[in-house]
Amino acid sequence: MKRIGMLTSGGDCQALNAAMRGVVKTLGNSGEKTEIYGFLDGYRGLIYGNYRMLGTKDFSGILTVGGTILGTSRTPFKQIREPDENGLDKVEAMKKNYKKLKLDCLVILGGNGTHKTANLLRSEGLNIITLPKTIDNDLWGTDMTFGFQSAVDIATNAIDCIHTTAASHGRVFIVEVMGHKVGWLTLNAGMAGGADIILLPEIPYDIDKVVDAVEARDRNGSRFTIIAVAEGAISKEDAKLSKKEYKEKLRTRPYPSVSYEVAAQIQEKSGREVRVTVPGHVQRGGSPCPYDRVFASRLGSEAGRLILEDDYGFMVGYKNREIVKVPLEEVAGKLKMLSPDAAIVKEAKMLGICFGD
């Protein structure tokens, strides 16, 4: 008998349910008797012992369902060693609940912060398998994360929809795409949606070059410009600030986000009318796209195989078009940044896309 704990942590995204379903179906089809304990609302459920037994019916019909049937929450890694308001040691509480239920392993679905805590639990002696979830596609050790392609589809659709109104009114339109630290989502959605300018966290922009690109389109007879801006995009001036100085600037900035700041600067410098659209959490929601359904199912299946073989301490990832296992200690605490010299960036520039650099 295998006793498996399962939780989803951090921001939600598409295909979490599909991935869990993949794990459970693989275990069930192996003939091995299993018990599945679903911890509610992420690590919080593991800390406070909030869980429920899950049967095969719980995983039926959820392949196409977004969100997570277990609920999720953010439990920042930097606070995981701090006692809660009642003095509870969170790490010890998680270990206690794991052992109380006599679990053989814990399957954890999450992104960067989630993997830091997962690796900590591994180092504390728990059997851990993780699955890479994030719309940002910024997890180290995997070429792809589930949720990413679904979010690209949604952000691309937002840009597609903006094109018609931008062309009709002859305006500059900014579409703000999710991504605080990395630009994979904005770059892919921007290219797929035909954005003329793409601003990313990894490539600090010069606002004058952005304005030059807008005005160059005007001179060439284009009535409109589409700009895809990552929510973490940063100017060259701000990139020179210390972390403390930049945080203070963000705290006192009179704009809701960087997109509105860019819009105001373009209007001031060019006289062009600029509009901002922020799809926001829509990018995390809805049914997973077919790619993510297949991809998450494959990852879940491999996680099930590792559990059956008692092979723990890994993230199930994707490298060079193959499903692979990656040691957790190699994943935790690392971000997969988008290099300014990446082939996809160079190719985008050859297509005429401006990055403001």
Question: What is the predicted pLDDT for the residue at 276?
Answer: 96
Asked if residue 60 and residue 10 are part of one domain, the reply reads yes
Question: What is the predicted pLDDT for the residue at 91?
Answer: 96
The whole-number average pLDDT for the span 249-264 is: 92
Asked if residue 300 and residue 199 are part of one domain, the reply reads no
Question: Residue 221: pLDDT band by 50, 70, 90 thresholds?
Answer: confident
Asked if residue 108 and residue 25 are part of one domain, the reply reads yes
Interval 279-319: pLDDT, tens: 999 999 999 999 999 999 999 999 999 999 999 999 999 99
Question: What is the predicted pLDDT for the residue at 345?
Answer: 97
Asked if residue 115 and residue 8 are part of one domain, the reply reads yes
State the pTM of this model. 0.94
Asked if residue 316 and residue 185 are part of one domain, the reply reads no
Question: What is the predicted pLDDT for the residue at 40?
Answer: 97
**Boundary-marking domain end, from 253, 284, 315:** 284
List alpha helices for 3-141, DSSP H. 16-29, 43-48, 90-100, 112-123
Question: What is the predicted pLDDT for the residue at 113?
Answer: 92
Q: How many domains does the chain have?
A: 2
The whole-number average pLDDT for the span 161-182 is: 92
Asked if residue 82 and residue 135 are part of one domain, the reply reads yes
Query: Which residues span the domain enclosing 256?
Result: 151-284
Question: What is the predicted pLDDT for the residue at 241?
Answer: 87
Residue 110 falls inside a structural domain: yes
Question: Residue 261: pLDDT band by 50, 70, 90 thresholds?
Answer: very high
Q: Collapsing DSSP states into helix, strand and coil, what is residue 175?
A: strand
Question: What is the predicted pLDDT for the residue at 205?
Answer: 97
**Is the pLDDT assigned to residue 251 strictly greater than 90?**
no
Question: What is the predicted pLDDT for the residue at 112?
Answer: 92
Question: What is the predicted pLDDT for the residue at 167?
Answer: 86
Question: Nearest 5°: CA angle at 79, between 73 and 80?
Answer: 75
Asked if residue 132 and residue 77 are part of one domain, the reply reads yes
Residue 160 falls inside a structural domain: yes
Interval 325-348: pLDDT, tens: 999 999 998 999 999 999 999 999
Asked if residue 322 and residue 255 are part of one domain, the reply reads no
Question: What is the predicted pLDDT for the residue at 31?
Answer: 87
Question: Residue 193: pLDDT band by 50, 70, 90 thresholds?
Answer: very high
Contact 106, 121 (CB under 8 A): yes
Asked if residue 186 and residue 119 are part of one domain, the reply reads no
List alpha helices for the chain, DSSP H. 16-29, 43-48, 90-100, 112-123, 148-169, 184-192, 207-219, 236-239, 243-252, 258-270, 290-308, 328-331, 343-350
Asked if residue 131 and residue 47 are part of one domain, the reply reads yes
Asked if residue 207 and residue 139 are part of one domain, the reply reads no
CATH number for the domain harbouring residue 225? 3.40.50.460
Asked if residue 297 and residue 248 are part of one domain, the reply reads no
Residue 107 or residue 169, greater confidence:
107
Interval 120-164: pLDDT, tens: 999 999 999 999 999 999 999 999 999 999 999 999 999 999 999
Separation CA 168–CA 181 (nearest Å): 33
Per DSSP, the chain holds a count of helices (H) and strands (E) of 13, 11
Candidates 136, 138, 153, 196; catalytic one: 136
Question: What is the predicted pLDDT for the residue at 197?
Answer: 97
**Boundary-marking domain end, from 246, 269, 284:** 284
Residue 230 falls inside a structural domain: yes
CATH number for the domain harbouring residue 124? 3.40.50.450
Mark whether 136 is an active-site residue. yes
